[in-house]
Amino acid sequence: MPMYADMEDDSIAGCRLITLDTHGDSSTGTLAVIENGSIEGFVIKRVYFIYDVPAGVSRGHHSHKSLDQIIVPLRGSFDITVDDGRNKHTYHMSKPSEGLLVVAGIWHSIDNFSPDALCMVLASDIYEEADYIRLYNEFLDTKR
């Protein structure tokens, strides 16, 4: 079951920027902290990274049936477009102290990676291929 949205309420309104807990200053550097359960009860079951994305390549292009994600730009920048089948919104991600919560039932794509981009994804569950909707028309069918 999705943690933040259910299939009756899976609009892009459920996607939002999350400010990470940070400590430090410009004289010593900054430490960003993510502890299991520290982000609105988000339980981390998987962490993965995306990097060395060639210019012009777009990632994602899928939705999840029950998995929620928090996507964080550790270095560089990229854009995330979220789509609920009716509305779309694009977030420009460039602050390692911010992550974007992408709830289950939302189609998303990531593009415009800067050459140095390092994208970290925190997932609420382990990898299960059956949780993915990879065809946009199939995704739209779930919204009807």
Confidence (pLDDT) at 41: 74
Q: Considering 23, 61, 62, 64, which one is annotated as catalytic?
A: 62
| Contact in structure between 88 and 12 (CB atoms under 8 Å) | yes
In this structure, the dihedral spanned by the alpha carbons of residues 94, 65, 42 and 122, taken in order and rounded to 10 degrees, is -40
**How does pLDDT run across 47-61, given as a tens digit for each residue?**
999 999 999 999 999
Instruction: State the pLDDT confidence band at 35, using cuts at 50, 70 and 90.
Output: confident
Whole-angstrom Cα distance, residue 63 to residue 11?
12
- What is the model's pLDDT at position 5? 42
For residues 107 and 132, the answer to whether their CB atoms sit within 8 Å is no
Q: Which of 34, 49, 19, 68 is nearest to 113 (CA)?
A: 49
Whether the model clears a pTM of 0.85, i.e. scores above it, the answer is: yes
The verdict on whether 61 is a catalytic residue reads no
Instruction: Grade residue 4 by pLDDT with cuts at 50, 70 and 90.
Output: very low
Encoding tokens for residue 56?
Answer: 């012009």
Are the C-beta atoms of 46 and 125 separated by less than 8 Å?
A: yes
